[in-house]
Amino acid sequence: MKPSVLMLAPARPSAMERLARDYDLLRLDEAEDRDAFLDRHGAACRAIVTHGHKTIDDALLDRLPALEIVSCSSAGYDAFDVDALARRDIRLTNASPALAQEVADMAMLLAAAGWRRLVEADAWVRSGDWAGQGEFPLRRGLRGRTLGIVGMGTIGQRIADLAGAFGVNVAYWNRSERQVDAVYHADLVDLARASDILIVIVAGGEGTRHLISAPVIAALGPEGLLVNVARGSVVDEEALITALQDGTLGAAALDVFASEPEADPRFAAMANVTLSPHLGSATVESREAMSALMVDNLDAHFAGRPLLSEVALTR
């Protein structure tokens, strides 16, 4: 008998084909009456497939007594109550390995664009008054600068690898020191003070909310650049906006925002801010790989094999 899998959000077509073929796929995402659907099918569900923006909490889990695993097609899982999962010994997997390179690429693209003020330079030409404005203000080059990475996980290490091609020095902060070729800072303010560019790539959630605080932003300084490819909640946006407006911080390059799918309009009003609509993993190849990994983890679980990308939950 095929295991029953509850779908909270659709996946890529190739993954949908595999799920429909190998599992009893229960489409809660298409149900007109969710309560009635769960009353009918909830007791049989052994797995959930979803992305990290769909809520998984006690109210849902109480209706799924046979649930064994949640397989997530995104890296983040901010909407999941991980404590509730841990209390029930429910396993969790994410898709971080499948998107690591694309997000790392995006981080360095934003770092280079923000450092060289590419958005301002683009507007300089588009104004139609290049001759009248004169030469675009000179900037210092990237080579020899210090790049600080907040979070030396899989993606952070990919960023560090890419950074070498730009000739920058790499330093990092992490909750624990890693065996990597970069300078470790146990204090986040110290890392910001030592960095020209600070790239943020930690998980979201309450544990990292406003990790990038006013003191961290101030330590980065009036020539510094903050790049956020993590989650909008990780940065204190009010403190960031104030620092950008009063010159405490030089510039920012942001792919994520606290109020997605909207961004604070004050960011758009500032020329020293580079904006991107959460494009970190937004390539065809990456999204295919993320959905495939979600199904691969299900297959491994039900075959009794080790999971490919399990998230360690504190029980």
> C-alpha angle with apex 19: 17 to 20, nearest 5 degrees?
65
The type of residue at 73 is S
Residue indicated by tokens 């909270």? 8
Same fold, 4-94+284-311 and 100-275: yes
Which of 231, 237, 287, 301 does the annotation list as catalytic?
Answer: 231
What residues have CB less than 8 Å from 131, skipping those under 6 apart?
none
CATH code of domain 4-94+284-311: 3.40.50.720
pLDDT-derived band of residue 206, with 50, 70 and 90 as boundaries?
confident
- Residue 231 appears among annotated catalytic residues: yes
Higher pLDDT, 154 or 108: 108
- Token pair for 181: 């070729």
Which of 193, 278, 288, 310 does the annotation list as catalytic?
Answer: 278
State if pTM tops 0.85.
yes
**pLDDT at position 315:** 63
Q: Is the peptide bond before 277 cis (omega within 30 degrees of 0)?
A: no
DSSP 56: B
Expressed in percent and rounded to 5, the helix, strand and coil fractions of the chain are: 45, 15, 40
pLDDT-derived band of residue 76, with 50, 70 and 90 as boundaries?
confident
- Cα(12)–Cα(139) distance, rounded to whole angstroms? 43
> C-alpha angle with apex 161: 75 to 287, nearest 5 degrees?
30
Backbone angles phi, psi at 92, to 5 degrees: -135, 135
- Cα(171)–Cα(28) distance, rounded to whole angstroms? 45
Query: Comparing C-alpha atoms, which of 96, 79, 89, 42 is closest to residue 64?
Result: 42
What residues have CB less than 8 Å from 305, skipping those under 6 apart?
299
- Cα(151)–Cα(96) distance, rounded to whole angstroms? 13
Assess whether pLDDT exceeds 70 at residue 129: yes
- Residue 288 appears among annotated catalytic residues: no
Percentage above 70 pLDDT, the chain: 100
Which tens digits make up the pLDDT trace of 40-56? 999 999 999 999 889 99
CATH code of domain 100-275: 3.40.50.720
Average of per-residue pLDDT across 75-103: 94
Residues 312 and 133: beta-carbon distance below 8 Å: no
Which of 87, 260, 285, 305 does the annotation list as catalytic?
Answer: 260
Write down the domain spans for the chain. 4-94+284-311, 100-275
- Residue 278 appears among annotated catalytic residues: yes
Which tens digits make up the pLDDT trace of 64-74? 999 999 999 99
